[in-house]
Amino acid sequence: MAEDRYQSILQQLQLRRRRRVLQVALLLLVILLCSYFVGLFDGARLLDGIPSLWLMAQESFPPDFTEWQSWLLPLLDTLAMSIVGTALALLMALPLGILAARNTSPHPLVYRFVRGILNLFRAIPELVMGILFVAAVGFGALPGVLALAFHSIGMVGKFIAEAIEHADNGPIDAVRATGATPFQVITHGVLPQVVPQVLDLALYRWEYNFRASTVMGMVGAGGIGLELMSSLRLMNYDVVAAILLLILLTVTLVDTTGAVLRKRFK
C-alpha cells in the first residue's frame, strides 16, 4: 500500500527530526555551561562595570588630537609593515602551499611535514611572534614585519594548498597530455587556476595585517601601537580615543582600497 509507505517515510523523518532537536539541545547546554563558567551570568559584576565604562567614555571625550603630527610617522610605519608583511608571507606561502597540497606534493611525508609547519605558524599568535622577533632583532618595524609575515604564512599557505587541491583536473590533464614536465604542469596548469583566488586572499590578508599591525607597537614591534600603549598606560583616554579614531579612519581607507583592487582583479 502506498499509504503505508508514506507513513513509514514520515516516521523516519520524525526520527531524524528528534535526533536533530536533541543535538541542538545538547549544543545549547554546552553554550550555557560555558557561559556560566566564564561568568556571563554574574549580573552584579556586569552591573558594576557600567559606571567604570561610563567614566572612561566621559574622559575620552572630546578626543585630544593636539599631538597628531607625531602619530603620522608611526602610522606610516604600520602601513609599510602591513604591506611588506603580506608580500613576504605570499612569497613564502606559495612554494609551501604547493608542497602542502595533496595533488602537487612530491611525497606524502613532505605533505604531512609542510602541513605541520603551516599549522605551527598559525598556532603562534602574531603578538607572541612579535615578542620573539623583538628579542631576536631588537625594537622597531622589522620585528613587526617578520611577525606578521610568519603568522600569515600559516593561513595563506593552507589556503593556497586547499585552492590547489580543489583546482579543476581537466586543464591539468590537458597540460600533462602535451608532454609537459611536472614543474610545467604546476606553473601552467595549476597556478593559473588559483591565482585569482590567491590575489583575492592577499588583499583580504593585507587588510587583516594592517589591523593586526596597529597593536604590534604594544610589544615594541613598531607602528602606531606604541603611541596607543603609552597613552593607555598614562590613562590619557582622550588621547587614546583620538588615536583609535585615526586608526579607524586608516582601516576604512585600507579596506576600501582593498575592495576597489579586488574588483579590478575580477
- How far is it, in rounded angstroms, from Cα 170 to Cα 154? 29
Contact pick of 2, 25, 53, 109 for other proteins (by CB under 8 A): 2
Helices (H), the chain: 2-37, 43-59, 69-99, 108-123, 126-137, 141-165, 169-177, 182-184, 191-213, 225-233, 237-265
Least distance in angstroms from the C-beta of 167 to other proteins: 21
Answer yes or no whether residue 13 interacts with other proteins by CB under 8 A.
yes
- Count of residues that bind other proteins according to CB under 8 A: 9
- How far is it, in rounded angstroms, from Cα 85 to Cα 217? 15
Using CB under 8 A, which of the segments 1-9, 23-31, 186-194, 252-260 binds other proteins? 1-9
Chain center to CA of 169: 29
* Phi, psi at 236, each rounded to 5°: -85, 80
Q: Which is nearer to other proteins, 6 or 68 (CB)?
A: 6
Q: Please list, in sequence order, all residues whose beta carbon lies within 8 angstroms of the beta carbon of residue 252, skipping any fewer than 6 positions away.
A: none
Least distance in angstroms from the C-beta of 165 to other proteins: 19
Answer yes or no whether residue 6 interacts with other proteins by CB under 8 A.
yes
Using CB under 8 A, which of the segments 5-13, 107-115, 245-253, 258-266 binds other proteins? 5-13
Q: Is there a contact between 92 and 151 (Cβ–Cβ < 8 Å)? A: no
Answer yes or no whether residue 166 interacts with other proteins by CB under 8 A.
no
Q: Which is nearer to other proteins, 2 or 109 (CB)?
A: 2
Answer yes or no whether residue 9 interacts with other proteins by CB under 8 A.
yes
Q: Is there a contact between 75 and 142 (Cβ–Cβ < 8 Å)? A: no
Q: Tell me which residues in 97-126 interact with other proteins (CB under 8 A).
A: none
- How far is it, in rounded angstroms, from Cα 178 to Cα 175? 5
Q: Which is nearer to other proteins, 8 or 35 (CB)?
A: 8
Least distance in angstroms from the C-beta of 10 to other proteins: 6
Task: Annotate each residue in 15-54 with x if it binds other proteins (CB under 8 A) or - if it does not, as one string.
Answer: -xx-------------------------------------
Least distance in angstroms from the C-beta of 227 to other proteins: 48
- How far is it, in rounded angstroms, from Cα 34 to Cα 178? 58
Answer yes or no whether residue 178 interacts with other proteins by CB under 8 A.
no
Matching residue, cell 567614555 = 57
Q: Is there a contact between 223 and 74 (Cβ–Cβ < 8 Å)? A: yes
Identity (one letter) of the amino acid at 100?
A
Least distance in angstroms from the C-beta of 1 to other proteins: 12
Contacts with other proteins, residue ranges (CB under 8 A) = 2, 5-6, 9-10, 12-13, 16-17
